[in-house]
Structure 1
Amino acid sequence: MSSKTSSVALTEFRSNPLSIIGLVLVALCVGLAVFADLVAPYPAHVGPIGDFMAINQAPSAAHWFGTDTIGRDVLTRILYGFRLSLVMAAMVLAISMPIGVALGLMAGYLGGWVEFAIMRLTDVFLAIPPLVLAMAIMGFLPATLTNAMLAVTAMWWPWYTRLVYNVVRSEAREGYVLAAEVIGASPLHVMTREILPNCAPAILTKLTLDVGFVVLMVSSLSFLGLGVQPPTPDLGSMVADGAKYMPDAWWLSIFPALAIMVLVLGFNLLGDGLREAFDAEV
């Protein structure tokens, strides 16, 4: 783990232009998602209600990103798509991260049969490509928002298990851990109060990077028709629906795809900046 103090890490983060760009992009996307009700030009176009007098209009002053096949404003649906993507990413990581961290702590510190059982199970999940595993799970479940989140969550915890396991194995023989054991601290205390804080930089960095990856994964499921279903505004399904009308109505796919790119790029740049600042091994 890195021996850098928080102030040194913050200084290095600030000195990295790409990190600042990532932070700005993330702040912009999150702000638009949170305040979509206020900034969206046509909030009524979130659902199935459209404007049949404005079907398939190209980008204009009235509709900056054009309109879709039933006259709904594409910009409005992208803003609400930001909200849905970020909420799904937050919920997936809020479930998978604690599970993976807990298992990684136990495997790395307790060792023995606990380590063997947890890490072999982790290896099984990591051996399967994430998108393939998610598609296989969704093949047995109805295509709903909840099931899409469960499918992604089921394949995401092993990455945190592997990360924390590696960090714990390198920290377990450090002096502060041995001192805690000598004074009679319980394994739970050592894992949660001594070792876990030293895993925080790596976990935080991975969390930031994973938001972009989860958004991309959820969008991929929706693009394949296995995720969020219409009329809910989802960036992946918007790209898929618009692809049928390329190249004439190019804006139906291009702008949602660019929105996904900006969202993923922002979190990737931010995560890379944190990784370099903390020297975290992710």
Structure 2
Amino acid sequence: MKRFLVILLRNPLSLLGVALISLVVILAVFADFIAPFPEHKGAVVEFLHANKPPSAEFIMGTDLVGRDLFSRLIYAYRVSLVLGVVVLGIATPIGAIVGLLAGYLGGWVEFVLMRLTDVFLSIPPLVLAIAMMGVLEPTLMNAMLAVTAMWWPWYARLVYNIARSEREEGYVLASEVIGASAWHTAFREILPNCLPAIITKMTLDLGFVIIIASSLSFLGLGVQPPTPDLGSMVAEGARYLPDSWWLTVFPGLAILVAVFGFNLVGDVLREILGADQ
């Protein structure tokens, strides 16, 4: 914690990253209390206020059916964060276990697991997600499954490289000499040394997951209306540029703030955790 505070105070961009992520998380968690029109997150129609530019009443304007854009952005942050946390919460353990077993056990286990990983890595991530969503019904759950299917191989490759280099270290050999099981050596000795890299990558990947999920929604394959989603809001507003510019600009800026914040925080964690290695 002391090192974290020192690095934050030394680097203004680090403070900016923490501030941006804190803002996004607070807005998402307390959306029901912060949003001026919480009912506008759903299928609400108020044509009296339709397509109004930013004003004192609607600080980011309204959409084509009169819903407050600021309120919908806040709830869209909640959807994006939930999706990112769930995707990484599933993909990271799967990839870490695959990479750990392949890197430590070697032999045919390494060959089978890493060739399977290479097959997934050979397919462009967004193309794989689009292909899956083309078969599945476009829902939030299926979007999570599609993004998870494309994300675990990166963690498998990361942990595999670390585990393969660590398996010849003295502490691993000592664990084997005293009769520790392969399970104990892999998960109690090698895995803790992989955690700094995993945590850093997870922080950086949260922003990229938001981009991929927004891209799917932009193409109409992700979260479906009336559920607010950043990608679908950008896609809807793009048809009315430049007259109704606020429909696209503010959701685009919301994506930028989240991704930029997670990248800055990831750089801080890389510096802090890297110092411990």
Q: Which TM class, normalised by the smaller chain length?
A: over 0.9
The 5-angstrom pairing of residues 21-60 of structure 1 reads: 21-60=16-55
- Specify which of 160, 166, 171 is matched with residue 171 of structure 1: 166
- Specify which of 38, 62, 67 is matched with residue 67 of structure 1: 62
Distance 1:68 1:172 in 2: 57
Whether 1:226 and 2:237 are equivalent positions in the alignment is no
Matching residue of 1:217:
212
Give the C-alpha shift of residue 128 in structure 1: 1.0
- Specify which of 76, 82, 102 is matched with residue 77 of structure 2: 82
Q: Deviations over 1:204-226 (max 9, x none)?
A: 00000010000000000000000
Q: Deviations over 1:29-57 (max 9, x none)?
A: 00110000000000010111132110100
Extract unaligned runs of 5+ from structure 1: 1-5
Q: Which amino acid aligns with 1:26?
A: I
Distance 2:186 2:81 in 1: 31
- Specify which of 148, 151, 170 is matched with residue 146 of structure 2: 151
With the length of structure 2 as denominator, give the TM-score of the two structures: 0.96
Pick closer, same or farther for the CA change 1:269–1:103 going to 2, 3 Å: same
Matching residue of 1:107:
102
Whether 1:275 and 2:270 are equivalent positions in the alignment is yes
Distance 2:102 2:9 in 1: 36
Distance 1:115 1:19 in 2: 39
Matching residue of 1:266:
261
- Percent identity between matched residues is 64
Q: Deviations over 1:102-146 (max 9, x none)?
A: 001100000000001111111111111100110011111111111
Distance 1:11 1:177 in 2: 33
* Aligned-pair Cα RMSD in Å: 1.3
Identify the structure with bigger relative contact order (alpha carbons < 8 Å, sequence gap 6+): 1
Matching residue of 1:120:
115
Q: Which amino acid aligns with 2:193?
A: N
With the length of structure 1 as denominator, give the TM-score of the two structures: 0.95
Q: Deviations over 1:66-85 (max 9, x none)?
A: 00000000000000000000
Q: Which amino acid aligns with 2:184?
A: H
Give the C-alpha shift of residue 171 in structure 1: 1.1
Matching residue of 2:10:
15
Distance 2:56 2:117 in 1: 52
Q: Which amino acid aligns with 1:163?
A: L
Distance 2:65 2:190 in 1: 55
Question: After TM superposition, what 4+ stretches of structure 1 lie above 4 angstroms from structure 2?
Answer: 6-10
Give the C-alpha shift of residue 15 in structure 1: 2.7
CA contact (8 A) 1:66 1:251 kept: yes
Whether 1:132 and 2:138 are equivalent positions in the alignment is no
Distance 1:204 1:103 in 2: 17
Q: Deviations over 1:150-169 (max 9, x none)?
A: 10000100000000001111
User: What secondary structure does 1:139 align onto?
Assistant: helix
Distance 1:194 1:15 in 2: 34
Whether 1:142 and 2:137 are equivalent positions in the alignment is yes
User: Aligned residue pairs: how many?
Assistant: 275
